[in-house]
Amino acid sequence: MIASDPAAIGYGTLDANPGVRGVAIKSGLTSLAVEPAISTIRSRAYPITRQVYWAIGPSASRDVKEFCGWVLSAEGQLIVEGAGFEPLLPAERSAGLTRLGLREAPGALASGR
């Protein structure tokens, strides 16, 4: 267990264990170290993050595309966040909707959710 071994190194969620501290990471030799925090993870400034990728075929049904669109919506991103994942950035959501051939209501992406 990482918390019980002072020399241990591990990878997990930011709030996994209060007895474990995050480590500032540099993305390159000359870059500044970035502390792990909700804000640095959401902005993608912290260089170690994980993402979940979906792949749907070009002949996916309209229902499948609409479900994916809902996941990319403000409501869907609240569910994503509630499940312990960080929501996508507005540009990432917009790109996903474009790939699906769907659009979100104007201004809906501006909230950042």
Q: Give me the pLDDT at residue 42, please.
A: 87
The predicted structure's pLDDT at residue 7: 87
Examine the pLDDT at 17 and tell me if it is beyond 60. yes
- Compute the average pLDDT of residues 87-99: 91
Place of tokens 């390159």: 28
**pLDDT tens track for 38-81:** 899 888 899 988 888 889 998 999 999 999 999 999 999 999 99
pLDDT band at 35 (very low <50, low <70, confident <90, very high): very high
User: How far is the C-alpha of 84 from the C-alpha of 90, rounded, in Å?
Assistant: 18
Residue spans per domain, the chain:
1-50, 62-111
pLDDT at residue number 104: 60
Nearest to 78 by CA among 104, 113, 46: 113
pTM: 0.68
